[in-house]
Amino acid sequence: MRYLALCTDYDGTLAHHGRVDKPTLDALEELKASGRKLLMVTGREIADLLKVFDRLDLFELVVAENGATVYKPASKEERALVDPPSARFVDELRKRGVDRISVGKCIVATWQPHEKVVLETIRDLGLELQVIFNKGAVMVLPSGMNKAAGLAAALAELDISAHNAVGVGDAENDHAFLSRCEFSAAVANALPSVKETADHVLNADHGAGVTELIRKILDDDLASLAAKLARHDILLGHEPGGQVLNLPAYGASALIVGTSGGGKSTLTTGLIERLNAKDYSFCVFDPEGDYDVLENAAVLGSPDRAPSVDECMQLLAKPDQNAVINLVGLEFSDRPAFFMTLFARIRDLRAKTGRPHWLIVDEVHHVLPAEWKPAELNLPQRLDGVVMISVSPSAVSKIALQLVETAIVIGEKPAEMLREFAEANDMPAPVSPLAKIPKGEALIWNKASTEAPRHFRIEPNKTDRRRHVRKYAEGELPEERSFFFRGPEKKLNLRAPNLITFTQLADGVDADTWLFHWKRGDVSSWLRRCVKDQELTDLVKELEKRVPDDARASRKQVRELIEKKYTLPAEGPRAHKAE
């Protein structure tokens, strides 16, 4: 379920001439019975609202006074989000002839044409207040307080993201909260400016319009209107003609595959960056410890300690929390079972809260390998908001591949990758428009589409460089990708799991041991195969030819090359480690 809450204005939206009719109340009750939450977002004061509307019990929370207070009908508690209005300000307004004044817990309201006096009084007293207009009403609140701020506080109290909320309104003061909701609607009687910015304009007015919206939510969770939400789409890159290529913000699933060095990490980290920028929460499954430098994400697990399912769920239960689940501390044989257990728990959490909005499963063949028996896979009928990354489709469970709608292919073997993905889905393979995909570019193919795979240039990201440096400079490469100093007689067995350790051991071993590996080309071979840095590999290969016999000079120059490229920045954003 995408939408968990309906947030509605009162006057002019839910109510007509201050009253809500029975068909609208019936629709509200039906929506509540579906398990969704109802929130009212109004400019009225609670005491005034209670005089005209006796069904606040339908609502989980009421954001009143144009966002300044939050009222809980079940307990009749009202919480002010800002300081009460200044008595000096109210007295001064009355002295200046403003006689129609309403003073709430936080709001001061009057009517036009008193707006000029209100503005002059704020200026003369040097107060940090703002004026909000609403169909003739003149509302004064502390700076920065509006319906959007109040709604944000209410949604946080309910552990619901604004990305899982629908908003409906009609007037000027509704703009702010409608823009905060994932989907915004305007009733037919709304002001033209509200209709222009809403995602959808309803055919009916007032409560009948809200009823129309509720019917659409109950019918298909607004799936039939999803095409109107392009503003939320996540940028992937640009096609050769300059056209923007996006991934839908909801309901999409993709498999990113390709040979090493083609740009899988660039595409994936860029996608995560843009999810983060739009406040979509994400959870990354990280089998190789590659993603512990992501901004605004807490990391669970390390090479020395495997995460537990319970601590992962405690972290993900927090509103707007992003997580990286580092699986390096888990044995390979334990990873599939751990993933499936945690995945099932996350599905339950998503059903209740809509979060995390996206799951990113790197090296998915570690947790859903091809050899797993179908009976062991407890996967849903479809995947929403899931991106898997692997070296090839053939390495991944066929059942998992059948739940993925889109393949994004990178690297040197696009025809082979597309064929493997199509075969797993029992479909004929599409024809690849490229024999080899240049670095920084990709193909995308949706298996439900009749179109051929589309070629695009991957949008650059900011994280990839920092992630690459962190992983290879001070990370923990697995044993099979580490460098071992053994020497000509294999008397040593010194393991270097990263570049920093490599340079330290290189300086410490005797000249014969160093030259043994140096002359055989072991150093450049390791950099190419395991560190996967072709630029550094080429420089070291050139050194191997130019300085073949001088242990001191070759060690020094290799260290300088590594330090130049892989010295970590002294400062900058780092992920929070949750231990």
- Please determine, for residue 575, whether its predicted confidence score (pLDDT) is greater than 50: no
Q: What is the DSSP letter of 322?
A: -
pLDDT value of position 128: 84
Query: Is beta strand 406-410 parallel, antiparallel or unpaired with respect to 253-258?
Result: parallel
Whether the pLDDT of residue 27 is over 80: the answer is yes
Helices marked H in 318-462: 335-353, 398-402, 414-424
Assign 569 a pLDDT band (cuts: 50, 70, 90): very low
What pLDDT score was predicted for residue 579? Answer: 35
Using DSSP's 3-state secondary structure scheme, residue 183 falls into: strand
- Bridge partners of 248, per DSSP, are none
What is residue 568's predicted lDDT score, i.e. its pLDDT? 46
Q: What is the pLDDT of residues 11-25, one digit of tens each?
A: 999 999 999 999 999
Tally of CB atoms within 10 A around 519: 12
More confident residue, 186 or 98: 186
Hey, what amino acid is at 270? G
Q: Which is it for strands 298-300 and 282-286: parallel, antiparallel or unpaired?
A: unpaired
The predicted model scores a pTM of 0.77
Q: What is the dihedral of CA 277, 240, 448, 233, to 10 degrees?
A: 20
Q: What percent of the chain has pLDDT over 70?
A: 94
Residue type at 496? A
Looking at residue 466, its pLDDT comes to 54
Q: What is the mean pLDDT of the chain?
A: 89
Calpha distance 384→125 (Å, rounded) = 54
Cis before 307? omega within 30: no
DSSP-derived letter for residue 143 is T
Helices 511-520 and 551-566, packing angle to 10 deg = 70
Q: What is the pLDDT of residues 245-304, one digit of tens each?
A: 999 999 899 999 998 777 888 899 899 999 999 999 999 999 988 887 788 899 999 888
What structural domains and CATH numbers belong to the chain?
Answer: 5-80+145-228 (3.40.50.1000), 82-144 (3.90.1070.10), 234-463 (3.40.50.300), 477-566 (no CATH)
Instruction: With cut-offs at 50, 70 and 90, classify the pLDDT of residue 464.
Output: low
Which tokens is 546 given?
């130019």
Pairwise CA distance, residues 569 & 469, whole Å:
9
Average pLDDT estimate for 476-492:
86
Q: Which helix (H) or strand (E) holds 63?
A: strand 61-64
Segment 527-542, tens digit of pLDDT: 888 877 778 888 999 9
Distance of alpha carbon 114 from the chain centroid:
45
Strand order in the sheet with 165-169: 77-80, 69-72, 61-64, 37-41, 5-8, 165-169, 183-186, 200-201
What percentage of the chain exceeds 90 in pLDDT?
65
User: pLDDT category, 48, cuts 50, 70, 90?
Assistant: very high
Choice among 81-90, 186-195, 223-232, 243-252 with the minimum mean pLDDT? 81-90
CA-CA distances (angstroms) from residue 232 to 201, 246, 295, 378? 18, 10, 20, 30
**Phi and psi dihedrals of 206, rounded to 5?**
45, -135
Check if the beta carbon of residue 221 is closer than 8 Å to that of residue 247. Answer: no
Instruction: Please write the tens of the pLDDT for every residue from 401-427.
Output: 999 999 999 998 999 999 999 999 999
| Burial of 113 per CB tally in 10 Å (0-12, 13-18, 19+) | exposed
Return the structure tokens found at 462: 């900011």
Comparing C-alpha atoms, which of 276, 246, 165 is closest to residue 213? 165
pLDDT value at position 467? 54
Q: How confident is residue 463, by pLDDT bands cut at 50, 70 and 90?
A: low
Contact of 230 with 43, CB cutoff 8 Å = no
Distance (Å, whole) CA 496 – CA 501: 5
Give the model confidence (pLDDT) of 64-120 as tens digits.
999 999 999 999 999 999 988 888 998 989 999 988 888 888 888 888 888 889 899
Percentages helix, strand, coil for the chain, rounded to the nearest 5?
Answer: 40, 20, 40
Average pLDDT over residues 329-349: 92
Question: Read out DSSP for 377-398?
Answer: ----SS-SSEEEEES-GGGB-H
**Structure confidence at residue 376 (pLDDT):** 52
The tokens for 238 are 């640009």
3-state secondary structure at position 181: coil
Residue owning tokens 């994280």: 463
Q: How many residues does the chain have?
A: 579
Residues facing residue 184 across a β-bridge:
167
**Pair of tokens at residue 332:** 């390979």
Sign of CA dihedral 404, 409, 412, 418: positive
Report d(CA 468, CA 466) in Å as an integer.
6
Q: Is the pLDDT of residue 571 over 60?
A: no
Per-residue pLDDT at 572 exceeds 80: no
pLDDT band for position 576 (cuts 50, 70, 90): very low
Nearest-CA neighbor of 216 among 30, 15, 401? Answer: 30
